Chains A and B, each alone.
Chain A
Amino acid sequence: MKRSLFVLLALLAFAGSAFAQDFIIANGAEPSTLDPALMQDTTSNQFYLAMFEGLVQYDPRTSKGIPAMAESWTTSPDGMTVTFKLRDAKWSDGTPVTAQDFVYGWLRTLAPETASNYAYMLGMVVKGADDYNAGKGKAEDVGVKAIDSKTLQVQLVGPAPYFVDMTAHSAFAPAPKWTIEKYGDQWTKPGNIVVNGPYILKEWKPQDYVLVEKNNKYWDAKNVKLRTIKYLASDSMSTNYKMFKAGAVDWMNGIDVSMIDEIKLRKDYQASAQFATYYINLNNQRAPFNDVRVRRAFAAAIDKKTLVDKVLKGGQIPTDEFSPPMAGYTPQPGQGYDPAVAKKLLADAGYPDGKGFPSLTYIYNTNAGHKLIAEYVQQQLKTNLNVDIVLQNMEFKTLIEMRNKHDFTIARDGWVGDYLDPNTMLELFISDSGNNSGDHRNPAFDKLMEDARMAKGDARMKMLEQAEKILLQNDQAIIPLYHYANQDMIDTSRWGGWFANPIGYHPPKFIYKK
């Protein structure tokens, strides 16, 4: 009798553990904040996806916005006003989620004293937001209003077709005013925090892990499968990979590049195209790159396909384009690999067979992967143009500083789109853009980008295509090398609801054990 009871108990315990939906993520670092208004890195953003929900959320397959706190929305005929209808939902303390919570959250992100990095995303699209953030306008003039507790109306600066998708971003989160006013800076600590998403903070051991558990007050709680999620702060890719192999981690984003030959043979390695581009940044105003023929010669001298196939080997996509392709948009490639053309262009520019070419220093931030690419580029330029470049690695902050001050000739660079639209890629190269570190200046390009802000539909996409054509075919302002790949380790035969997608956001709401 005793024995059979024991067996029964053991069986129950086994069944319990087999069905317990506990998920462990190697999150790559300690989150810098759990406050949506302040988040600015992917590590912190994981907690936005778990604990908060905006008007829309990211579709786990496509990264496009799907209804979340907003049940539906309508856009005015001129495209300048969007009205959201909120669903019945509650915060984790039982308070209903209202349109006022969104107004408060957005204005809080924008308030100068909050000092939010991503306030500019609101500033880009919402009327009056930029002025308020810059301390030049008033909160009342920001185009976000609660018509009633379930209706939110937003006035835009232009008919930005990507606006609704953008509201899935943490900068557009609603915020629980009563909690923030009560606890101040401490409101994100366990026990204080109030959330409206599928999970709530349970434990936070800094530098060790963050544990969240299912929020039973969440409006769609019945479809939330995971019971707990543990986010490990370990920042060693090699340790994380060992943990993954040992079954102590269920999902890790990023891989240990030194292990790529082993990893790419594994079935639980997921590589997919990311909405991002790795490129060589050229200082367009500084010799020798103030001559478009030299820029084009360099672009023609580098074989991007071999770089990806033989050096990187991680599922990246070699490219001569800057914006990745998407529905309705055809990217416009610049100069492709062609050593003969490269030689001729360089000769035309006054450097036959590389003779008399100045010595250049290629700068990059210290990292094994960037080093491999820099060495490959160096070897390609030597082989195809007989040009010698010097490689110099440095700390990331130093590289950023040099690029920002245009204090470089040729540098490693990369850009990850904030939302699925060519605009987030191309706007870098507008003359007065803060990110235009290569100092590309072309009034025709600027005008097209400006006109596209106020245009809609197909006409708008055509303008952006035209702009990319100027950027790469006329100007060859930069040398694109490849589109990044999202590299993840997760066994999708055990875990469902996780899909490779272009932005690389994986809302845990949808993940379940198969």
Chain B
Amino acid sequence: MSRYIIRRFLSLIPTIFVIITLSFFLIRFAPGGPFSSEKNVPEQVIQNLMKKYHMDEPLFKQYLSYMGDILHGDLGPSFRYRDSTVNELIGQSLPNSMLLGTIALVLATVAGIAVGIISALKQNHWQDYTFMSIAVVGISVPLFVVGPILQLVFAMRLHVLPLSGWITGREGIKALIMPAITLSFPYFAYIARLSRASLLEILRSDYVRTARAKGLAERTVITRHVLKGGLLPVVSYLGPAFSGIITGSIVIEQVFAIPGVGRIFVQSALNRDYTLIMGEVIVYSLILVLMNFVVDIVYGFLDPRIAYN
């Protein structure tokens, strides 16, 4: 088992390496560069900038020195935010997105599984129809509609929650409520549908019929047999969902003015802020592959059909 884990872990390294290398060269092919602007500056100014950021050197040499720097954990200076390094920019914004994302995902998971169980057990009853209608809305209505509607109701009409801003503001932790709910909505909807579908399948399976035939109490059948198998798809969904949700959502961050990492990722691409784009790509891909790795391992414990040796 531990050998499997180590082998699986080591295989992540080439994946990350390929992602970094591909991204490094691909972003250089995008038209325009970090120093082009509406007002053209004289050639000498561009030369000075290129020199300062070592962009006057051959591309492959830049690549080698960049790889050297990131091995030391140095993601370089930002081209756009000239008072900050990429480490600082990501270090300041990622924790905010992680906090918000974690809260949202916990909300989505707890509510989604609960709703999924009720809907599966009460299939084709009014509870099922109500919850699944909500889930369809959650999946199909975009966040930039849900967010402003919540703002309109809770901030502008009822004045119970702050309109926008982060917990550093006057309103403290209350600032998290609306963005967390908005962000959790589509995840909640997906988890609810996923768990309902998979629970229904398990409920009809032979081993559940056997358990019931043995005379086990319905409660025991559900908790001991149905849930364990029925929630496996949710677990495998949580890995990518977690890496997606904690790395920020540009829509949520814009609507609620949240100092998260999603906004600077989009901005960095538009600004051709090469080092910042690379920094974000590295952090995102690390989180994504690590989450998938964790899910693989957890899966092994949950599903006896998977053997590692």
Chain A residues engaging chain B, CB cutoff 8 angstroms: 30, 32-35, 38, 40, 112-120, 123, 130, 133-135, 185-186, 188-189, 205-209, 232-236, 238-239, 242-243, 245-246, 248, 395-398, 400-402, 404, 414, 434-435
**Across the interface, which residues of A come within 8 angstroms of B77, CB to CB?**
185
**Across the interface, which residues of A come within 8 angstroms of B259, CB to CB?**
205-208, 233
B305 at the interface (CB under 8 A from A): no
Verify B39–A435 contact, CB threshold 8 A: yes
B168 at the interface (CB under 8 A from A): yes
Minimum C-beta distance from A435 to chain B (A): 5
Verify B168–A207 contact, CB threshold 8 A: no
**Across the interface, which residues of A come within 8 angstroms of B255, CB to CB?**
236, 238-239
Verify A400–B32 contact, CB threshold 8 A: yes
Minimum C-beta distance from A45 to chain B (A): 14
Contact sample, A vs B, 11 pairs, CB 8 Å cutoff: A30-B81, A40-B37, A207-B264, A246-B155, A246-B156, A395-B270, A396-B38, A397-B36, A397-B271, A401-B32, A434-B41
Verify A133–B163 contact, CB threshold 8 A: no
1/0 contact string of B73-97 vs chain A (CB within 8 Å) = 0000100111110001100110000
Query: Are A32 and B82 also in contact (CB < 8 A) when A115-B52, A208-B259 are?
Result: yes
The winner among A30, A401, A402 for most chain B CB atoms within 10 A is A30
Verify B270–A133 contact, CB threshold 8 A: no
Minimum C-beta distance from B287 to chain A (A): 19
Verify A115–B51 contact, CB threshold 8 A: yes
Minimum C-beta distance from A121 to chain B (A): 10
Verify B44–A117 contact, CB threshold 8 A: no
B193 at the interface (CB under 8 A from A): no
**Across the interface, which residues of A come within 8 angstroms of B30, CB to CB?**
397-398
Minimum C-beta distance from B113 to chain A (A): 32
1/0 contact string of B250-269 vs chain A (CB within 8 Å) = 00001111011001100000
- Near A by CB (< 8 A), chain B positions 32-78 give 32-33, 35-45, 47-49, 51-53, 77
Verify B272–A397 contact, CB threshold 8 A: yes
**Across the interface, which residues of A come within 8 angstroms of B43, CB to CB?**
434
Verify B45–A189 contact, CB threshold 8 A: no
Chain A residue, CB-CB nearest to B42:
A120
**Across the interface, which residues of B come within 8 angstroms of A130, CB to CB?**
44
B151 at the interface (CB under 8 A from A): yes
Query: Are A398 and B32 also in contact (CB < 8 A) when A113-B52, A205-B168 are?
Result: yes
Minimum C-beta distance from B257 to chain A (A): 4
Minimum C-beta distance from B279 to chain A (A): 14
1/0 contact string of B286-300 vs chain A (CB within 8 Å) = 000000000000000
Measured CA separation A212–B51 after assembly (Å)? 34
How many chain B residues have a CB neighbour from A under 8 Å? 51
Residues of B contacting A: mostly: loop
Instruction: Give 11 new A-B contacts, CB below 8 A, not counting A116-B45, A207-B259, A234-B254.
Output: A112-B51, A133-B44, A135-B48, A189-B83, A205-B166, A206-B84, A242-B164, A243-B163, A248-B163, A398-B31, A400-B36
1/0 contact string of B174-203 vs chain A (CB within 8 Å) = 000000000000000000000000000000
Measured CA separation A234–B151 after assembly (Å)? 15
**Across the interface, which residues of B come within 8 angstroms of A434, CB to CB?**
40-43
Chain A residue, CB-CB nearest to B164:
A239
**Across the interface, which residues of B come within 8 angstroms of A404, CB to CB?**
36, 40
Query: Are A33 and B83 also in contact (CB < 8 A) when A207-B93, A236-B255 are?
Result: yes
Measured CA separation A130–B263 after assembly (Å)? 37
Minimum C-beta distance from B199 to chain A (A): 39
**Across the interface, which residues of B come within 8 angstroms of A233, CB to CB?**
257, 259
Verify A234–B92 contact, CB threshold 8 A: no
Verify B164–A234 contact, CB threshold 8 A: yes
Nearest 10 A-B pairs (CB), nearest first? Answer: A397-B32, A207-B259, A234-B257, A208-B259, A134-B44, A434-B40, A115-B52, A236-B254, A115-B48, A401-B32
Measured CA separation A238–B42 after assembly (Å)? 36
Query: Are A206 and B92 also in contact (CB < 8 A) when A117-B41, A238-B148, A434-B42 are?
Result: yes
- Near A by CB (< 8 A), chain B positions 219-241 give none
Q: Which of B45, B51, B271 contacts A120 (CB 8 A)?
A: B45
Verify A117–B45 contact, CB threshold 8 A: yes
Measured CA separation A40–B89 after assembly (Å)? 20
Measured CA separation A206–B36 after assembly (Å)? 24
Measured CA separation A185–B165 after assembly (Å)? 29
Measured CA separation A113–B52 after assembly (Å)? 6
Measured CA separation A397–B35 after assembly (Å)? 10
Measured CA separation A189–B257 after assembly (Å)? 22
- Near A by CB (< 8 A), chain B positions 12-40 give 30-33, 35-40
Chain B residue, CB-CB nearest to A117:
B41
Query: Are A35 and B82 also in contact (CB < 8 A) when A120-B45, A133-B48, A435-B40 are?
Result: yes
Chain B residue, CB-CB nearest to A242:
B163
Minimum C-beta distance from B255 to chain A (A): 6
Chain A residue, CB-CB nearest to B256:
A239
**Across the interface, which residues of A come within 8 angstroms of B164, CB to CB?**
234, 239, 242-243
Minimum C-beta distance from A27 to chain B (A): 11
Chain A residue, CB-CB nearest to B264:
A207
Verify B155–A135 contact, CB threshold 8 A: no
**Across the interface, which residues of A come within 8 angstroms of B38, CB to CB?**
396, 400, 414
**Across the interface, which residues of B come within 8 angstroms of A235, CB to CB?**
254, 263
**Across the interface, which residues of A come within 8 angstroms of B40, CB to CB?**
404, 434-435
Chain B residue, CB-CB nearest to A414:
B38
Measured CA separation A245–B151 after assembly (Å)? 13
Minimum C-beta distance from A419 to chain B (A): 13
**Across the interface, which residues of B come within 8 angstroms of A239, CB to CB?**
163-164, 254-257
Minimum C-beta distance from A263 to chain B (A): 16
**Across the interface, which residues of B come within 8 angstroms of A123, CB to CB?**
42
Measured CA separation A501–B107 after assembly (Å)? 50
Minimum C-beta distance from B37 to chain A (A): 7
Verify B51–A401 contact, CB threshold 8 A: no
Minimum C-beta distance from B135 to chain A (A): 27
**Across the interface, which residues of A come within 8 angstroms of B148, CB to CB?**
238, 242
Measured CA separation A119–B156 after assembly (Å)? 46
**Across the interface, which residues of A come within 8 angstroms of B271, CB to CB?**
397
Measured CA separation A197–B166 after assembly (Å)? 29
Measured CA separation A179–B281 after assembly (Å)? 35
Measured CA separation A116–B52 after assembly (Å)? 10
**Across the interface, which residues of A come within 8 angstroms of B44, CB to CB?**
112, 130, 133-135
Chain A residue, CB-CB nearest to B50:
A115
Minimum C-beta distance from A55 to chain B (A): 23
Chain A residue, CB-CB nearest to B266:
A235
Verify A207–B92 contact, CB threshold 8 A: yes
**Across the interface, which residues of A come within 8 angstroms of B260, CB to CB?**
207
Verify B81–A232 contact, CB threshold 8 A: no
Measured CA separation A52–B259 after assembly (Å)? 26
**Across the interface, which residues of A come within 8 angstroms of B49, CB to CB?**
115, 117
Chain B residue, CB-CB nearest to A204:
B83
**Across the interface, which residues of A come within 8 angstroms of B270, CB to CB?**
395-397
Minimum C-beta distance from A277 to chain B (A): 13
Chain A residue, CB-CB nearest to B151:
A242
**Across the interface, which residues of B come within 8 angstroms of A206, CB to CB?**
81, 84, 88-89, 92-93, 259
